[in-house]
Structure 1
Amino acid sequence: MAIWAGPQTYYGINNVSDYDDNRLYTFANMAHGKTLQFGCGHQVCGTNTHISCIYNLVGGYPHSVLYETGKACTKNKDCTTYKGSTCEQADHLCVFTGKPPVPGGGENKMCRGNKEMTDPGRKAALEAHNKRRSQLAKGKVRNGKNPNNKNLPTASFMARMEYDCEAEAGAIAYASTCAFKQSPQKDRKGYGENVFVYNAPNAVPADALNAAAKKWWDQIFLDGINWEVVFKQSLRDKKIDQKGFTQMAWANSIKLGCGVQTCGLKSFVVCRYSPAGNVLNQTIYPIGDVCSGCVAACKDTDGLCM
């Protein structure tokens, strides 16, 4: 146990709310705040003894919350992660005796024909896209790395994305190839695509998709794009790849579908978009007053066209 906990003492933790340090993997499994159960075993092999412990949740997922920060519990109402939990006064730990959640589990009612994705994963992908598109539409996204840079201009039209089961089926099929790279455009006619390699197997879809969306979107903070927000050849061929961001920000991309598949010790994340974005010499989105280009309804609160 001391060896498993040791990396934290040696390397330290930068941010427990955004865990992303594989050196701390063993410690992360021990310290994960939502883990409820574990079991251990040992086997003597010659002159060595091998010890293994299994936990009901994986603690070392990239970009996950390792545990919630704050004061330790002193009363039952402080324990809110699992409904019905109580606070054990002696060690200030929350105790839950109900049924543990299934790792990666969740309903599958939105796309019943696709069994390898969950509704929580679908909702996470959709929310991750629309939340960021809303920020962009309202002019709240900085253009480039420098914190003093101006924000990108507001969008007169930015579609609210909707989840699409057909796009998802294609994304799952390609994710299962474990290619770890974007598919040939001829193999996905009409669809745009973003891909991401998640550094853990058997990923909870929602966790992997949130990490992927953050990685793609944050490309805009590595370097700025042209103020006309046009997908020029210079942007397409840029050394700093920003095509993940531009596809997420493509105003006319309305439908979204994603897949997550385990590939060895990693997970391959694929999202597909329709209509496809990243079309050469077209605008990523039209510049103008928020919602002024919406044909139907628009929510002023998020700036997305319905």
Structure 2
Amino acid sequence: MILLVIFPAIIVVVASYECEGGKLTPTERKNIVTQINKYRSRLIRGKLKNKDGYLMPKGKNMLRMRWDCKLEKSAQNWANMCVFGHSPSSERRGIGENVYAYWSSGSVRDLKKTAGTDAGRLWWSELEKYYSDNPSNNLTSEVAMENILHFTQMAWGETYKLGSGVDHNIVMVARTLVFICHYFPGGNMVKDLIYELGNPCKHNKDCRTKRCSAKSGLCKK
């Protein structure tokens, strides 16, 4: 007698951090994604405080971020200009942008390895430095004026893709490193919720996308 046992196929999707023509390594890309997802997870689980010392409200339907090579290409194109400022919005419709620059009289080449997480840490620190208590969690025009728009873009609940670019140059006697992140869909829409209030997901049914990462409380798209 022959017993035939058939196991169901299990498909595992592995995130790719390989992008053709970029200046970041796969490890640097992965570190950037890991950092922002840890921040977003702690935020919606009510673990972080604003500048007034109040815990941020818990949230639901916060999407888990993933790397996007097209966004990396657009961010890299602007980083190559070595300009400390935003690219024309007409050239990145629907895409959000954060900009970071570092000046030094010494070499900035080695700083590239941690530029992404250094920038992310600085942008996210706006929460504790400048973000006033805002129970409604709406991005009002008053809130937008508090110097917190780098943080709110990183925390925007409906954003789920990002890509970054980096470059360095010598301007006069100063050496400059510029790091750019592009996000899709772009956030910071005045009068919209920064993220939806509620409880982080524990099961797939808790997510609008029907896919939950229970450990982080983030929804997958």
* TM bucket, shorter chain: 0.7 to 0.9
Matches of 1:119 and 1:225, distance apart in 2: 37
What secondary structure sits across from 2:159 in the alignment? coil
In the alignment, what sits opposite 1:300? 214
In the alignment, what sits opposite 2:197? 287
Question: Is the aligned partner of 1:186 residue 2:90?
Answer: yes
In the alignment, what sits opposite 1:18? none
Moved over 4 A (4+): none
In the alignment, what sits opposite 2:42? 135
Conserved? CA contact 1:203–1:262, under 8 Å: no
State the 1:204 CA deviation. 4.5
1:163–1:138 CA distance, 2 compared to 1 (3 A): same
In the alignment, what sits opposite 2:149? 243
1:302–1:137 CA distance, 2 compared to 1 (3 A): same
Question: In the alignment, residue 231 of structure 1 is paired with which amino acid?
Answer: L
Matches of 1:219 and 1:259, distance apart in 2: 22
In the alignment, what sits opposite 1:276? 186
Which among 162, 170, 179 is matched to residue 256 of structure 1? 162
Matches of 1:205 and 1:120, distance apart in 2: 12
In the alignment, what sits opposite 2:135? 227
State the 1:206 CA deviation. 3.9
What secondary structure sits across from 2:168 in the alignment? strand
Structure 1 residue ranges without an equivalent (≥5): 1-108
In the alignment, what sits opposite 1:208? 115
State the 1:121 CA deviation. 1.3
Question: Is the aligned partner of 1:217 residue 2:217?
Answer: no
State the 1:225 CA deviation. 4.5
Matches of 2:110 and 2:169, distance apart in 1: 10
In the alignment, what sits opposite 1:195? 99
Percent identity, please: 31
Conserved? CA contact 2:44–2:60, under 8 Å: yes
Question: In the alignment, residue 174 of structure 1 is paired with which amino acid?
Answer: W
1:112–1:272 CA distance, 2 compared to 1 (3 A): closer
TM-score, normalising length: structure 2: 0.82
Report which of the two structures shows the higher radius of gyration computed on alpha carbons: 1
In the alignment, what sits opposite 1:97? none
Matches of 1:288 and 1:185, distance apart in 2: 32
Matches of 1:259 and 1:203, distance apart in 2: 15
Question: In the alignment, residue 140 of structure 2 is paired with which amino acid?
Answer: K
Conserved? CA contact 1:203–1:267, under 8 Å: no
Matches of 1:294 and 1:261, distance apart in 2: 38
Matches of 2:155 and 2:87, distance apart in 1: 20
State the 1:230 CA deviation. 0.9
Question: In the alignment, residue 232 of structure 1 is paired with which amino acid?
Answer: T
Structure 2 residue ranges without an equivalent (≥5): 1-15
In the alignment, what sits opposite 1:100? none
TM-score, normalising length: structure 1: 0.60
Matches of 1:115 and 1:181, distance apart in 2: 21
1:115–1:245 CA distance, 2 compared to 1 (3 A): closer
What secondary structure sits across from 2:197 in the alignment? coil
In the alignment, what sits opposite 2:73? 169
